Amino acid sequence: MPAKPPPPEHTLRHPTAALESLLTEVRACRACAQHLPLGPRPVVRAGAGARILIVGQAPGTRVHETGIPWNDASGDRLRQWLGVDDTTFCDASQFAIIPMGLCYPGRGKGGDNPPRPECAPLWMDRLLAQLPSIALTLLVGQYAQRHFLGARRKPTLTETVRAWQDYAPGFIPLPHPSPRNQPWFKQHPWFEAEVLPMLRERVGRILRHGRAPAGLNRWP
Ligand code: SF4
């Protein structure tokens, strides 16, 4: 097999150009098109200087239709959790948004299908390599937690979320903010009482203080 050509010279000199070049490549991905009922439409947002990374599950139908990450009821709740408005949330220089599966994976009996397994191995590490300023990664749901925490996860998502201090300062594990999880929120009042204030404080501090010190994040 012939060697892959080196990246264009401009992408070596300018991190933003390198990220934009990669995002163009990502958005053209068709790697698992045969498994996607609505076809490929990778939904990802990232700016080279972003400091907070949100790793969710996969787009739902509304996000697929609009191409806007978290543009649904789950996103409304997530923004409420973070204490940020739409404008701040949509600022790619503040928030990078990369789900475990970038395209809508279709629907099964119990709701949306899991993220396509081909996706994160193809793109996650390459995208993370272009985001050197990330100080905090929010792991929304079991798929993100499995990928980033590996054996450090607790036996259940609930236990992992409750043990958030074990993953500080680089990560905060969260449940999915889907309205379908309303019973979970009711059954675990400590999440709203303890975790959300900490989450808002961390996010607010990072947004207020500009570029965070390098090396706070720990990707395995
Ligand atoms: S889900 Fe991921 S791997 Fe599959 S087509 Fe979309 S971007 Fe490519």
124-161 pLDDT, tens digit each: 999 999 999 999 999 999 999 999 999 999 999 999 99
- All residues at 6 or more sequence positions from 100 whose CB lies less than 8 Å from its CB, including other chains: 55, 56, 57, 58, 115, 119, 120, 124, 143, 144, 147
CATH number, domain containing residue 140: 3.40.470.10
Q: Determine if ligand 1 sits within 6 Å of the CB of residue 29.
A: yes
Quote the ligand 1 centre to 131 CA distance (angstroms). Answer: 20
CA 172/CA 164 separation, integer angstroms: 6
Mutation choice for ligand 1 from 22, 24, 25, 30, CB with most ligand atoms inside 8 A: 30
Residue 122 lies in a domain: yes
**Which residue(s) pair with 52 in the sheet?**
95, 136
Tell whether 23 is covered by a domain: no
- Ligand 1 center to 123 CA (angstroms): 9
pTM here is 0.90
Q: Does ligand 1 come within 6 angstroms of the Cβ of 116? A: yes
The pLDDT confidence band at residue 3, using thresholds 50, 70 and 90, is: low
Q: Tally the domains of the chain.
A: 1
Q: What are phi and psi of 172, to 5 degrees?
A: -130, 115
Does residue 27 sit within a domain? no
Each residue's pLDDT tens digit, 28-44: 999 999 999 999 999 99
Domain containing 167 equals 32-208
- Whether pLDDT at 7 is above 70: no
Residue 9, pLDDT > 60, answer no
| Cβ-contact 34, 97 below 8 angstroms | no
CA angle 155–119–91, rounded 5-degree value? 90
Q: Domain for residue 69, yes or no? A: yes
- Ligand 1: does its nearest atom lie under 6 Å from the Cβ of 90? no
